[in-house]
Amino acid sequence: MELPTNKQQLLDQLRQERSEWENLLARIRNDRLELPGVTDRWTIKDTIAHLTTWWRREVARLAAVKRGEHPPDHPPHSEVTIINEWVYLTNRDRPIEHVLRDANETWQQFEAEIQQLSEEMLFKKQLDWMEGRALGPGIFHDFVSHIHEEHEPLIRAWLLRLESS
């Protein structure tokens, strides 16, 4: 994935990523959204709730920057496992419509936060907590890499198993 170098490219790539995400979800019929096996016992619904929780963190990071604050550090791996279990237990009985709505709203919030930040803040200002990366490309990468690196391969493999059975 080529990282954007200006705000318009960032927004265009974000919209493209969202379209690809929605296309992947469209391949999964509604009657499959709550079938287990995507990630161990997780369903697509559980995976979406999980992703949404971590996407909200990126939205909160952008909001903190906008307020001139330093966002909280990423929790240690041992806490991530606990957080992920909490997210699963909290969302597993929620209606799928609510989980999908939350995900959609989070994508919208992420884009809105980016739109409100200046080109300079997104691409020229160095923030120590971004580990030498510019805010825009760095936070965009963090937002979408979670899908591509951790969950999309599992979703596609699960979907392939369903389609071939």
CATH numbers and ranges of domains, the chain: 7-164 (1.20.120.450)
Of all residues in the chain, the percent with pLDDT exceeding 70 is 99
**What pLDDT is attached to residue 23?**
94
**pLDDT recorded at residue 151:** 94
Query: Model confidence at 74, in pLDDT bands (50, 70, 90)?
Result: confident
DSSP per residue over 54-89, as a string? HHHHHHHHHHHHHTTPPPPPPPPHHHHHHHHHHHHH
